[in-house]
């Protein structure tokens, strides 16, 4: 039974696309046939982070409007044979998405794939609602700061009010909290909210903590999802997240402050 | 004392040609009636105790309508003589109008004697009903409309006048309104969320957003919360907002909020 996972946050720039790319890659690496869909019509980024932007011919909007088949639009990942990317259109706006069309595409993908990862745009308008509407599970991405937590709270309210599962009265969407850009040292000095603070405010189970790391930016710029980087703490933390999504018990790592030596204090990390 | 409430409001509809001021109109109203609680069926014993109570109350109960509560007689073997009881009460200038809390047999006998049957509710029953209602709302088989009402951004209780119980957190941007009744919340009201009631608001979790009780003007409405961290609280339109300035003696404490005159009081619940 295929699962639809939405990666959402309300706020922009918190790491939704990075997370979508790494979660989809991680699931595919574990042997599941996976597709990741970019719902950010007009501001597509997922293809850049997946490193396939030059191979985009047809996109999600073309498929919805019957201008291309799903087979034509799906892009096979260059590293993993069981990972597909369905890119967004750069030239349309978010109103090009509509429920029946999205549902038709998702139903077709459910037949062929184990996991469908939906990369939501920021905000709470059409695009974001379309991305979460058909979800079975949701990864709510939050930075350790007040405005990001507030927007996540807002999106959790929408998940429980406007999603298909809520409206049909089915079991609610399974919610996972993912804290990204977490810097234990800045939490210790009180500059950032702690994991406990965020969990108390949002009241949903914690699925992962991705530490702040230069390797995320490097990976994005080179079009390789950071989960492929098995040396960086962020890559390892994303691997842990994927294992937890698959129901395994994995302790949270990289959340205690690191004492900087004199050398590091002088020259940075 | 017991409140008897009737919600029926039926007017006679006439076709235009026979339109005239109606001679009879049914309307709903709320009355408070005294209750006569019976624990035995022997009319002689009842008369002795009744005479005693009435002599203490002087003329207060003169020709007063009265509801007979049968809750304590349900277990008794002997049957109540309702016609005899009626005569006895009339003799003492009381006007029995109905019975409540009777067994099916008692109710049948009372009906025969010309009593109305009131669906009296004891506190226990009210709590039970509320529990059943919230259970029904939680069950996955509840209708789509119910779920939508419960979960939509502006949750509005269609069963006006009853208590609304909410189990999920109320999140930023969401609003819950308990029309005509109390609102009980068993999970947090987060910053940016709004909970509103015509009656009281009870929050057995942190209040981080806004809570407005008695919004249709009930000055006696109160707000109770387990962890005071509110952005705004209001009772019957008198409000106070907080910007990181909740006084220490109530900050993150269990508090109750109530009005005295136009003064909004926030007191710890110790």
State the nearest Cα–Cα gap between A10 and chain B, in angstroms.
11
Measure CB to CB from residue B147 to each of A124, A166, A203 and give the nearest one. Answer: A166
Which pLDDT belongs to residue B69?
Answer: 84
- A171/B169 Cβ within 8 A: no
- CB of B186 closer than 8 Å to CB of B138: no
State the nearest Cα–Cα gap between B154 and chain A, in angstroms.
10
φ, ψ (nearest 5 deg) of residue B120: -70, 140
Which pLDDT belongs to residue B127?
Answer: 39
Residues 199-228 of A with CB under 8 A from B: 201, 203
- Closest residue in B to A203 (Cα) is B169
Annotated domain spans of chain B: 35-118, 156-268
Q: What is the H or E stretch that residue B178 is in?
A: strand B175-178
The two three-digit tokens of residue A71, written as one number? 């087979």
Which pLDDT belongs to residue B32?
Answer: 62
CATH 3.30.460.80 fits B156-268, yes or no: no
CA atoms within 13 A on the CB side of A81: 0
Which pLDDT belongs to residue A94?
Answer: 73
- CB of B96 closer than 8 Å to CB of B89: yes
* Per-residue pLDDT tens listing for chain B (270 residues): 444 443 433 344 444 445 577 788 776 665 666 778 888 888 888 888 888 777 766 566 667 778 888 888 887 778 888 888 888 888 888 888 888 888 888 888 888 888 888 765 443 443 344 444 444 444 443 444 444 444 444 444 444 568 999 999 999 999 999 999 999 999 999 999 999 999 999 999 999 999 999 999 999 999 999 999 999 999 999 999 998 889 999 999 999 999 999 899 999 997
Measure CB to CB from residue B171 to each of A156, A166, A170 and give the nearest one. Answer: A156
Which pLDDT belongs to residue B101?
Answer: 82
Say if pTM beats, i.e. exceeds, 0.90: no
| Set of chain B residues whose Cβ sits within 8 Å of the Cβ of A158 | 173
| Set of chain A residues whose Cβ sits within 8 Å of the Cβ of B209 | none
- Closest residue in A to B170 (Cα) is A157
B173 interfaces chain A, CB cutoff of 8 Å: yes
Which pLDDT belongs to residue B34?
Answer: 73
The fold adopted by the segment(s) B35-118 is Alpha-Beta Plaits (3.30.70)
- Closest residue in A to B151 (Cα) is A161
- Closest residue in A to B141 (Cα) is A169
| Set of chain A residues whose Cβ sits within 8 Å of the Cβ of B208 | 201
CA atoms within 13 A on the CB side of B40: 9
Mean pLDDT by 10 residues, chain A (269 residues): 95 96 98 97 93 92 94 96 94 85 97 98 93 98 96 96 95 97 94 95 96 94 95 96 96 85 61
Residue by residue, DSSP assigns chain A as --EEEEEE-SSSSSSHHHHHHHHHHHHHHTT--EEEEE--TTS--HHHHTT-GGG--S-HHHHHTTSS-HHHH-EE-SS-TTEEEEPPPSSS-GGG--HHHHHHHHHHHHHH-SEEEEEPPSSSSHHHHHHHHT-SEEEEEE-SSHHHHHHHHHHHHHHHHHSHHHHHT-SPPEEEEEEEEE-HHHHHTTSS--HHHHHHHH-S-EEEEEE--HHHHHHHHHT--GGG-SSSHHHHHHHHHHHHHTT------S-SPPPPPHHHHHH--
- CB of A182 closer than 8 Å to CB of A192: yes
- A203/B151 Cβ within 8 A: no
């Amino acid at each position: 039974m295929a699962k639809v996972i939405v990666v959402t946050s309300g706020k922009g720039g918190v790491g939704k696309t990075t997370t979508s790319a790494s979660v989809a890659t991680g699931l595919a690496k574990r042997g599941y046939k996976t597709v990741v869909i970019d719902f950010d019509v007009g501001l597509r980024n997922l293809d850049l982070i997946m490193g396939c932007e030059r191979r985009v011919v047809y996109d999600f909007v073309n498929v919805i409007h019957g201008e291309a088949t799903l087979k034509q639009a799906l892009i096979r990942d260059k590293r993993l044979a069981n990972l597909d990317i369905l890119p967004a259109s750069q030239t349309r706006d978010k109103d090009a998405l509509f429920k029946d069309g999205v549902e038709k595409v998702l139903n077709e993908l459910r037949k062929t794939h184990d996991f469908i990862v939906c990369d939501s745009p920021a905000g709470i308008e059409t695009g974001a609602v379309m991305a979460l509407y058909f979800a079975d599970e949701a990864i709510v991405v939050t930075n350790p700061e007040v405005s990001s937590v507030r927007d996540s709270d807002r999106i959790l309210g929408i998940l429980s009010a406007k999603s298909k599962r809520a409206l049909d009265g089915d079991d609610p969407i399974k919610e996972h909290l993912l804290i990204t850009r977490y810097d234990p040292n800045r939490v210790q000095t009180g500059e950032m909210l702690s994991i406990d603070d965020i969990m108390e405010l949002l009241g949903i189970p914690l699925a992962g903590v991705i530490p702040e790391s230069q390797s995320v930016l490097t990976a994005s710029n080179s079009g390789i999802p950071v989960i492929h980087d098995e040396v960086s703490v962020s890559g390892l933390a994303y691997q842990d997240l994927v294992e937890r999504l698959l129901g395994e018990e994995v302790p949270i790592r990289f959340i205690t402050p690191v004492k900087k030596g004199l050398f590091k204090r002088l020259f940075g990390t | 004392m017991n409140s008897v409430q009737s919600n029926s409001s039926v007017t006679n509809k006439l076709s235009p040609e026979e339109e005239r001021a109606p001679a009879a109109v049914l309307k709903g109203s709320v009355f408070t009636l005294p209750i006569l609680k019976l624990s035995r069926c022997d009319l002689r014993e009842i008369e002795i105790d009744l005479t005693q109570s009435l002599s203490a109350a002087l003329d207060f109960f003169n020709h007063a309508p009265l509801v007979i509560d049968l809750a304590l007689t349900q277990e008794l073997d002997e049957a109540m003589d309702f016609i005899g009881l009626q005569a006895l009460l009339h003799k003492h200038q009381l006007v029995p109008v109905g019975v409540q809390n009777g067994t099916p047999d008692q109710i049948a006998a009372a009906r025969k004697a010309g009593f109305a049957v009131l669906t009296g509710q004891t506190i226990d029953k009210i709590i039970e009903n509320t529990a059943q209602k919230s259970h029904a709302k939680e069950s996955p088989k509840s209708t789509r409309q119910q779920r939508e009402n419960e979960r939509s951004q502006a949750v509005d209780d269609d069963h006006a006048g009853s208590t609304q119980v909410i189990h999920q957190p109320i999140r930023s941007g969401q609003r819950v309104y308990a029309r005509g009744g109390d609102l009980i919340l068993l999970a947090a009201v987060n910053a940016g969320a709004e909970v509103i009631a015509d009656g009281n608001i009870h929050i057995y979790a942190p209040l981080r957003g806004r809570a407005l009780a008695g919004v249709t003007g009930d000055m006696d409405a109160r707000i109770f919360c387990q962890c005071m961290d509110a952005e705004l609280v209001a009772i019957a339109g008198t409000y106070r907002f907080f910007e990181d300035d909740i006084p220490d003696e109530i900050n993150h404490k269990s508090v109750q909020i109530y009005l005295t005159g136009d003064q909004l009081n926030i007191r710890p619940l110790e």
